[in-house]
Amino acid sequence: MSDVKIRRAILSVSEKTGIIDLGKALTKLGIEILSTGGTASKLREGGVIVTDVSDYTSAPEILGGRVKTLHPIIHGGLLARENLQEDCGELSTQNIGFIDMVVVNLYPFEKTVQEGKGFDTCIENIDIGGPTMLRAAAKNHNRVTVIVSPKDYEELLNEMFSNDGSTTQQFRIKMAAKAFRHTASYDANISAWFTKENGETYPEKINLTGSLRDILRYGENPHQTAALYTVGSSTIGVPNANQVQGKELSFNNINDSSAALDLVCEFNDPCCAIVKHANPCGVAISQNIYKSYLAALSCDTESAFGGIVAFNREIEEDVAK
């Protein structure tokens, strides 16, 4: 299949930024909207007509909301292959309609952990129905469009308004890959939390997940490409710092800056470190940061050229000059 017309969509989000505008736009395109709990309430507040999933499936939410979308009517509608006569026949027999789009972002597990919430609260913020729908939709990307981030709403609507309410296969594949990355990262964070809570030092498997922070100017050498990924949003250091001015950074800039910062943070006294190609050209402590800089520079003035200078104190104009 190539372009697929969206007829019915399910919207169920924890991060509700832009969801009303999205709902209004989908309604304008004549799309039936299914929704759950807080998302349905938010959409109705904005004047968007929605059908509760519980009404659509004729099955109430149970177990305090733990089971809402885990139903054959939902997953049959997502996983059915419209080009297979057998699938279409089964949907017809079971009175199940096609669902052509899933807009889901997951319970805020990582944020809940970062806020220091208790064990039971963290457990309740492990999403089950959301990842299941995302994986089903992404698997069946030949027909189903899956959206995991409010950042993609604009691109989605541009796609649909440009194609008479349809999405292209290229767009669906792109969004499916993003959905699988999203669920993989989500599960990696849960796994890491459980491992820490269990006190396991060396588990049999370790899963690392990072988020793209920047495309760097170049890699270790000018002919190479590179990108910076961060692991965790609360880590203090150069990768999570805001660049105040100057051109885009390279791999060496990031590497040397991180090394220099780590080095000066080893000292309590005013310290300056100058690093070039991961090697310290000079390190010094003194009564004030200006004298520390002069002493660090005097260690090796030639190697310091083009290097990274780090301080463990705020500097004044004289040092900057």
Catalytic residue set: 139, 277
Helices 72-79 & 85-93, crossing angle to 10 degrees?
160
| Alpha carbons 168 and 38: distance in angstroms, whole number | 30
β-pair type (211-215, 227-230): antiparallel
Pair 94, 36: CB distance under 8 Å: no
- Show Cβ contacts of residue 311 under 8 Å, excluding neighbours closer than 6 positions: 264, 270, 271, 272, 289, 292, 293, 319
| Alpha carbons 53 and 190: distance in angstroms, whole number | 27
- Show Cβ contacts of residue 234 under 8 Å, excluding neighbours closer than 6 positions: 114
Residue with tokens 């080893």: 266
| Alpha carbons 222 and 202: distance in angstroms, whole number | 38
Two structure tokens written together for 152: 């993609």
Burial of 10 (0-12, 13-18, 19+ CB in 10 A): buried
β-pair type (4-5, 308-311): unpaired
Q: Catalogue the long-range contacts made by 161-168 (C-beta closer than 8 Å, 24 or more residues apart).
A: 161/25, 161/29, 163/3, 164/5, 165/5, 165/6, 165/29, 165/30, 165/31, 166/3, 166/4, 166/5, 166/6, 167/3, 167/4, 167/6, 167/101, 168/2, 168/3
Secondary structure element (H or E) that encloses residue 101, with its range: strand 101-105
| Alpha carbons 34 and 19: distance in angstroms, whole number | 13
| Alpha carbons 47 and 200: distance in angstroms, whole number | 50
